[in-house]
Structure 1
Amino acid sequence: MGIRINDIAPDFTADTTAGKISLHEWIGDGYAILFSHPKDFTPVCTTEFGAVARLVPEFKKRNTKVMGVSVDSVEDHQKWKQDISAFAGTDADFPIIDDTSLSVAKLFDMLPADAYMPDGRTAADSATVRTVYIIGPDKKIRLMMTYPMSVGRNFAEILRALDAVQKTDGAPIATPADWKPGQDVIVGLSLNDDAAKEKFGALDIRFPYLRFVKDPSA
C-alpha cells in the first residue's frame, strides 16, 4: 500500500551534500519539505532547485526545512549545485540526498519496488521521482504533489500550501480555493454557529455548511 496523507513519513538515514542525515532527527520539532528529482544536470530540475534556493529564507521564517532527493551521487550533486547557484543567483543552501540506490525513492513509493536503473540511465528511467511531501512536526505526511517530467513545479504554490497546512494545523478551520495568508478562512463543521461565533466572532454564512470568518491571526 502506498504512502497516504497522515501516514508517518518513513524514516531513513542517507548521505547528503550536508553529510549523513536521518530524516526524523533532521526534521526535529518543525516542518519539512522533501522534494525529489529524477536526475542531476537536467533542465527543469535545475530551475526548480534554483527556485527552492531563492525561497530558503521564506521556508526558514515558517520553521520549515527543505531537502532535495536526486537519484545521483553526492559528488554529482556538489557539481550540480554550482549550476543551481549560478542560475538562482544565490547559494543552494539545503541538503540533497544521494539516492543512487533508489532506497528513498522506493521507501516513499516514488518508484515500483522492482525498479531497475541501469548504468547510463537517463531522467526518463526515473521519471516518476517528481514528488513533493510536506511533513509535520509529528512526522506525518501532510500534503503530497506529483508532477510529470514536462511540468515545472510552482514553488510559490508549495509555499502557499505550506502556509495553509500550518494555518489549519490543529484548528477547526479550513482554507478555501486560492486562499492566501490574511484572507478569510472556513469554519470547520465540527463547530455549530454559536460555538463558531464564540471562538471566531462574526460569521459570513453563505450556506449552512459554508461559513467564513476573518483569518484569526491576520
Structure 2
Amino acid sequence: MPGLTIGDAIPNLEVETTHGRIKLHDYVDDSYTIIFSHPADFTPVCTTELGMMAVYADKFEKMGVKLLGLSGDDVQSHQEWVKDIEAYNNGHKVTYPIVADPNKEIIKQLNMVDPDEKDSSGYHLPSRALHIVGPDKKIKLSFLYPASTGRNMDEVVRVLESLRKASAHKIATPANWKPGDPVAICPSVSDDEAKQMFPQGYQTADLPSNKGYLRFTDV
C-alpha cells in the first residue's frame, strides 16, 4: 500500500497515549525510536508481542532506543490490556507509551493500515507494522507482518545494531550478519581510503571476477 516509507520523515502528530499527550518529533528527539502497531487490544499475538517488547525494554534502553506502541483502541482499553500483558510476561512492566487510535486516523498517516482486516464498525485495523525512526525523524527500516505472524525481537535488535553501525561507518552488514561479525566496506570507499578509515585492516574475498569489491573488516 502506498504511503510513508523508508527515507520519509514521520509527521509530527500529537497523539493520546497511556503516558498522556505527546508529539512524535518531541518523543523521538535525538534517539532511534521503534514505532510498532498492533491490530487490536486483548488479542493473542499482540499480547505476546507487547509483552516481549517489555522484556526487551532494558536492552533497548541501553542502546539508547525508545519504544512507542500503537493499537486501534482507546487509552482506557490500553490501560486494562496492559494488566494482561504484564501478567502473561511474568510481571515485566510495560514502561513505554501506547498510542490510542480509536478512529483509525493515525495509522493512515503512519502507513500502518491493514488493507483487509476491519473492525465491527467497518474501520480498517492497524497492520502488524514496525518502523525504526532515526534521530532525524526519518524512517530507516520497516517491517510488515500478517496478523497471524508475531515478530522476532532478536531480529529487531540485530537490524538496529546494523543501522547504527552503518550510520557511523561506511559499511554494510552482509546476509545473516549478527553483532560481532565482520562487516562489508562500502564500494564507494577506495582501498586507500579503507586503509585510513579501518586501521585494524580488512580482508578482500578472492573472486573469479578478480574484482576487489567484497572487503570485510571489524568495527
Distance apart, 1:110 and its partner CA: 2.2
- In the other structure, the counterpart of 1:131 is 129
2:215 maps to which of 199, 211, 218 = 211
Provide the C-alpha distance between the structure 2 equivalents of 1:171 and 1:77, rounded to a whole number of angstroms.
40
- In the other structure, the counterpart of 2:172 is 174
- In the other structure, the counterpart of 1:99 is 101
Deviations 1:171-216 (A, max 9, x none): 211111121222111101111112112211322111521110112x
Q: Secondary structure at the match of 1:85?
A: helix
Confirm or deny: 8 A CA contact 1:47 1:84 kept in the other structure: yes
Distance apart, 1:50 and its partner CA: 0.6
Q: 1:92 to 1:112 in 2, by over 3 A?
A: closer
Q: Secondary structure at the match of 2:12?
A: coil
Provide the C-alpha distance between the structure 2 equivalents of 1:11 and 1:180, rounded to a whole number of angstroms.
33
Provide the C-alpha distance between the structure 1 equivalents of 2:56 and 2:118, rounded to a whole number of angstroms.
34
Q: Does 1:10 align with 2:14?
A: no
Alignment of 1:14-163 (within 5 A): 14-89=15-90, 90-111=92-113, 117-119=119-121, 126=125, 129-163=127-161
Distance apart, 1:67 and its partner CA: 0.7
Deviations 1:131-165 (A, max 9, x none): 00000001010000000011110011011111111
Q: Secondary structure at the match of 2:95?
A: coil
Provide the C-alpha distance between the structure 1 equivalents of 2:154 and 2:77, rounded to a whole number of angstroms.
27
2:163 maps to which of 162, 165, 176 = 165
Distance apart, 1:4 and its partner CA: 2.1
Confirm or deny: 8 A CA contact 1:106 1:112 kept in the other structure: no
Look up the equivalent residue of 2:191 and give its one-letter code: D
Confirm or deny: 8 A CA contact 2:114 2:127 kept in the other structure: no
Of all paired residues, the percent bearing the same amino acid is 40
Provide the C-alpha distance between the structure 1 equivalents of 2:143 and 2:11, rounded to a whole number of angstroms.
17
Provide the C-alpha distance between the structure 2 equivalents of 1:112 and 1:54, rounded to a whole number of angstroms.
26
Number of aligned positions between the proteins: 210
Q: Does 1:183 align with 2:181?
A: yes
Look up the equivalent residue of 1:203 and give its one-letter code: Y
Provide the C-alpha distance between the structure 1 equivalents of 2:170 and 2:61, rounded to a whole number of angstroms.
26
Look up the equivalent residue of 2:96 and give its one-letter code: F
Could you tell me the TM-score, scaled by structure 2's length?
Answer: 0.90
Provide the C-alpha distance between the structure 2 equivalents of 1:103 and 1:73, rounded to a whole number of angstroms.
13
Provide the C-alpha distance between the structure 2 equivalents of 1:52 and 1:109, rounded to a whole number of angstroms.
21
Look up the equivalent residue of 1:168 and give its one-letter code: A
Provide the C-alpha distance between the structure 1 equivalents of 2:143 and 2:114, rounded to a whole number of angstroms.
17
Distance apart, 1:3 and its partner CA: 1.6
Q: Over aligned residues, Cα RMSD in angstroms?
A: 1.9
Look up the equivalent residue of 1:99 and give its one-letter code: D
Provide the C-alpha distance between the structure 1 equivalents of 2:20 and 2:131, rounded to a whole number of angstroms.
21
